[in-house]
Structure 1
């Protein structure tokens, strides 16, 4: 396993067949034992070293093109909290260059292995000088190993987190999984242990533990580089209220005024009113009815989140949420 066979030509010019261990060669490279490796490994070791440096300079070397192309801000989460709505509005701002979809660079191993050059090439070209480049992938929030990778990319990065009532977010997440048939089972099976209590290790709960994940981000980024968006307010009220706060946070011009949004009676939420009076509304999957959940499960969720919510409020220095 992890080996291949190759032919090499020693001094007598007679071809020799050799089994080459990739792991052993990597061990030689990183232990700096290049001169002590067997002669039969000289060629693959040289090739491996060349490939390693070639990969680095092609994918990761921070050229001016890459440094200018990396995002200035990330919407890192939380999924099912209004991140899709936020992106659909922010993409209209003339001072923002927003990716069209979720790139999933940091949380997808294959994408990350492609390096910064690939990441930069996923964005649409800036339409004007000085645009703020923004990317949105909600999974960045609750995968613990990703925060350091994000910080290493840009310690001055501005981070945006959209939160909503964690009980509603959890139920909405379950509804999404049910509709997409991604995971089977009832919400009770996903949330409760064999004694009928909330299982704190449930994957469905993980994104809703705001304090845990915000604390990790604050370990790498100062508080003034982290902005919290009230996802419930973004959807229920005129979105310009939350969007103006983001404009101030990103230090861009004031574009989102109250008159740019019109409430749609048909949809049940606000739509963006473009300059040509054409309305842009969220997709059909937004605002769907939630899966009915037993009141006892809802009560258990509220009790479980109470301590986590208070810790979150203390971290961000605010309790201006309806679900506190």
Structure 2
């Protein structure tokens, strides 16, 4: 029984690793037992043997038994939809890869255009320096065995539907940044905050003295009514943490939020986005025409009518003003969501500078997919003391950027609705730009 439990735990770990950390996904129509899939299956068998050796099972476990277990587990999950990527019909995806440091995997790219560009890629001087640092860190990490859990060094505080997930996924490629991929919601949920800083520390990833621990919870920026002093509390509890924040066009953000709310059934929202705006925009205009504190208006209205959150989250100015009472440019980095879409490589390079980390993710690691206008990332990693350029991970209309692709066609009715929303956000946007000293969109 102990042997079975250990093996189950091992495969549970593998199943978790094959989730969001997986560097690429494959379209459903290509999920067949072809040569690549057979190679992947062989890799799973090798991984299983490694885990059996790792746990040193005393009982006999034949190679045939391992093969049967792996095939059953693999077959069960091959066509299972990944919860991080929701789609339907021909746009579905399956798992066909795993993140394991000592196995060289065969992973198909998501877009042919991106894959071709990777083959034509020529190493620049910046890339040569980056690769040298990667190898040095890899060798140094072998000597550093002491790991610990500590309060986060880096926190992503928002804003929801502005590209925080994609930026987190890009930072996941940095070997000095270890990330809790789940949103912790420590500061914005009362029941969680009551558990104390010891709980907060325990949900952070293990890090060495060279590495940084990071978590991302977009709900921190638009703090709830019970926590009107959110910036002050965050600064007090994690005084040395550096924060990053993405602010994007509030009109685009509202539409993206609406699409996710409908897809995930977060709220009971009948009808189209146009109908939603017709119903909620007059309420927002009436509430925000008041001379009362905008923070209290937004929080109170959100609690009374949660569906209104889709519109109110885009009024950034009052929240930003509160955060800037306790943070400066030295410890709070504000990113333009529009620039994140157009030039993600430049954004990530600047963020590494802000965090005081070596630039191990370069602008040239990002390549535009000409069919969508979105970007793919193909970072360099170290496997067995050798450098590898792994296949592309792309923002796609199915995964990320389904409402933000620059080359996505818009219906005329939707364009009219966007035009109707802009006057509502404009005065708050101008106040925000004046506060920051620069325009973000």
> C-alpha distance in 2, partners of 1:74/1:114?
19
Question: Which structure has the larger Rg?
Answer: 1
Would you say the 8 A contact 2:205–2:213 is kept in 1?
Answer: no
The aligned counterpart of 1:34 is none
> C-alpha distance in 1, partners of 2:251/2:281?
20
1:93 aligns with 2:174: yes
> C-alpha distance in 1, partners of 2:378/2:415?
38
> C-alpha distance in 1, partners of 2:395/2:165?
8
Deviations 1:24-65 (A, max 9, x none): xxxxxxxxxxxxxxxxxxxxxxxxxxxxxxxxxxxxxxxxxx
Would you say the 8 A contact 1:106–1:150 is kept in 2?
Answer: yes
1:302 aligns with 2:422: yes
Flag the 1:155–1:197 CA change in 2: closer, same or farther, 3 A: same
TM-score, length-scaled by structure 1 = 0.70
CA drift at 1:307: 0.7
Question: What is the root-mean-square deviation in Å for CA atoms of aligned residues?
Answer: 2.6
The aligned counterpart of 2:330 is 224
The aligned counterpart of 2:158 is 77
Flag the 1:318–1:176 CA change in 2: closer, same or farther, 3 A: same
> C-alpha distance in 1, partners of 2:216/2:281?
38
Would you say the 8 A contact 1:158–1:250 is kept in 2?
Answer: yes
Specify which of 207, 212, 215 is matched with residue 313 of structure 2: 207
Query: Secondary structure of the residue that 2:313 maps to in structure 1?
Result: helix
Would you say the 8 A contact 1:96–1:131 is kept in 2?
Answer: yes
Flag the 1:289–1:230 CA change in 2: closer, same or farther, 3 A: closer
> C-alpha distance in 2, partners of 1:311/1:289?
26
Deviations 1:65-124 (A, max 9, x none): xx9701122110000000001000111112222212211111222322222122112122
Specify which of 244, 247, 254 is matched with residue 349 of structure 2: 244
The aligned counterpart of 1:158 is 242
The aligned counterpart of 2:389 is 277
The aligned counterpart of 2:251 is 167
Flag the 1:192–1:251 CA change in 2: closer, same or farther, 3 A: same
Structure 2 runs not aligned, ≥5 long: 1-147, 289-300, 302-307, 381-387, 405-409
Structure having the larger proportion of residues in helix: 2
Would you say the 8 A contact 1:247–1:254 is kept in 2?
Answer: yes
Paired residues for 1:64-143 under 5 Å? 69-126=150-207, 128-143=208-223
CA drift at 1:236: 2.4
Flag the 1:298–1:262 CA change in 2: closer, same or farther, 3 A: closer
Stretch moving more, 272-281 or 116-125: 272-281
TM-score, length-scaled by structure 2 = 0.53
Stretch moving more, 185-194 or 258-267: 185-194
Q: Give aligned pairs, total.
A: 253
Would you say the 8 A contact 1:141–1:207 is kept in 2?
Answer: no
Query: Secondary structure of the residue that 1:288 maps to in structure 2?
Result: coil
Stretch moving more, 227-236 or 271-280: 271-280
Paired residues for 1:36-55 under 5 Å? none
Structure having the larger proportion of residues in strand: 1
Flag the 1:156–1:289 CA change in 2: closer, same or farther, 3 A: closer
Structure 1 runs not aligned, ≥5 long: 1-66
The aligned counterpart of 1:262 is 367
Flag the 1:195–1:233 CA change in 2: closer, same or farther, 3 A: closer
Flag the 1:113–1:197 CA change in 2: closer, same or farther, 3 A: closer
